[in-house]
């Protein structure tokens, strides 16, 4: 049994102990002292238990605040760990246990989702850098033979119309001796390409 304010404690004590007072017809009051003392002792025990749980909660909250002083991708994990400790400290409060457990599970879910989002954002940034040429490129003209190891080039853009005699990409099926129009961009892990005499194209680095 928990109390929010001293006033509530007093009001509840008066209500619970009314039976210990007897008023006779002449207006006299008889006090059942033994029952009253027993009730007061029970109230004292309940208040002491509440104080103990409050102290444990305060300790856990302080630990939670300490864990949040760090920054970086582990912050959510630290919060989840502290909430788990808070749940254990409040074992006597069943209602709060359910709420805190739900919060812990939610934080763990957020932590996992954040990692997935970070990975996807990293992939988007990489693809964006590649498409904008931020990772560098190589311009080629004429019928020069261009070869590279896998993972070197991610795309080729044809500035002038070109009919490649060699065009190889990892895990891809390519066609040669067919004209590719100017302005065409082909994405893939390019390992070899040879244009015609009028070729002018750009190889974009991974």
Give the separation between CA 129 and CA 117, rounded to whole angstroms. 18
CB neighbours of 168 closer than 8 A, spacing ≥ 6?
174, 190, 191, 192, 193
Please give the pLDDT value at position 149.
95
Residue ranges of domains in the chain:
6-126, 137-205
Residue indicated by tokens 């009051």:
29
Give the separation between CA 110 and CA 121, rounded to whole angstroms. 16
Please give the pLDDT value at position 112.
73
Give mean pLDDT in consecutive 10-residue pieces for the chain, a chain of 206 residues: 59 62 58 64 67 65 52 57 64 54 73 72 68 82 93 94 96 94 95 95 93
Measure the CA dihedral 41/43/46/48, to 10°. Answer: -70
pTM of the full predicted structure? 0.41
Please give the pLDDT value at position 202.
95
* Residue whose C-alpha is closest to residue 32's, from 51, 44, 19, 16: 19
Please give the pLDDT value at position 193.
97
| Other beta carbons less than 10 A from residue 200's beta carbon | 16
């Amino acid at each position: 049994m928990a109390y929010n304010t001293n006033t509530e404690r007093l009001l509840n004590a008066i209500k619970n102990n009314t039976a210990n007072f007897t008023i006779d017809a002449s207006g006299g009051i008889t006090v059942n002292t033994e029952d009253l003392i027993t009730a007061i002792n029970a109230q004292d025990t309940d208040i002491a238990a509440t104080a103990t749980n409050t102290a444990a909660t305060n300790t856990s909250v302080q630990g939670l605040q300490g864990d949040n002083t760090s920054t970086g991708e582990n912050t959510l994990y630290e919060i989840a760990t502290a909430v788990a400790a808070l749940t254990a400290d409040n074992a006597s409060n069943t209602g709060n246990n359910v709420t805190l457990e739900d919060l812990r599970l939610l934080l763990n879910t957020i932590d996992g989702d954040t990692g997935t989002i970070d990975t996807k954002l990293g992939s988007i940034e990489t693809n964006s850098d590649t498409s904008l040429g931020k990772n560098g490129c190589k311009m080629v003209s004429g019928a020069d033979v261009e070869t590279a190891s896998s993972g070197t080039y991610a795309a080729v853009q044809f500035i002038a119309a070109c009919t490649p005699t060699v065009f190889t990409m990892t895990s891809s099926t390519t066609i040669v001796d067919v004209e590719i129009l100017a302005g065409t961009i082909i994405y893939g892990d390019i390992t070899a390409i040879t244009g015609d005499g009028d070729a002018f194209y750009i190889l974009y680095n991974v």
